[in-house]
Amino acid sequence: MKNLKRKVDDKTLLDKFVEDFCKIIEKHVKYIVCSGFVAIAHGRTRGTEDIDMIIEKIPEERFILMHNDLIKNGFACMQSDNPDKLYEDYLLKNNSIRYVIDEEGYFPPEMEIKFAKDILDEEQIKERVKFPLTKLDIYFSSIESNIAFKEEYLKSEKDIEDAKHLRIVYEDVIDENKINEIKDKIRKIKLQ
């Protein structure tokens, strides 16, 4: 993944993958990109094989339209070609589905999509933002949400380093009270 490093004037292959994918998703559903790619988009150098996306829950008919649009635009789902199966056997059961570029020999990244599972996910989608600093035309979960989830819920070494990076980049604008409120909700909702 070293060839995917951020360039000043140029978008990386990873950036292009995410923007192309999100452009299609945005036509069908509200979404957020969250977790590791947020730190990468803000200049943290680390590899990733998947980009995490949470979408609002939608009826099966809308999902089928979205899936077909992704297929028509050169993406393939790794689990199945059958949108009914993807919807019923994966998304409705709170499992993720993964899309890649439909090209022989193509390697990651993968876009990992899951439905919003709880009020925390729904709030992140409602508060979604674009970060001009990234130069990407996509919606992210807030910096405070990313930090809170990485420090309180995910807690891997990579997640803690991502959170530290975001704290440095946004040190003058981070709302610590909001981070603590989200951490409290994580403890009550996700860690019961």
Structural domains of the chain, count: 1
Query: Is the pTM value of this prediction over 0.85?
Result: yes
- CA-CA distances (angstroms) from residue 25 to 65, 135, 191? 10, 19, 30
Instruction: Determine the average pLDDT of the residues in 121-146.
Output: 97
Range of 144's domain? 2-189
Residue 145 or 45, more confident = 145
Q: Are 190 and 118 in contact (CB under 8 A)?
A: yes
Evaluate if residue 48 carries a pLDDT over 80.
Answer: no
CATH number of the domain enclosing 76:
3.30.460.40
CA 118, 17, 51, 80 dihedral sign is positive
Which pLDDT does position 10 carry in this prediction?
65
**How many Cβ atoms from other residues are within 10 Å of residue 177's Cβ?**
9
Q: Is 164 helix (H, G, I), strand (E, B) or coil?
A: helix
**How many Cβ atoms from other residues are within 10 Å of residue 67's Cβ?**
23
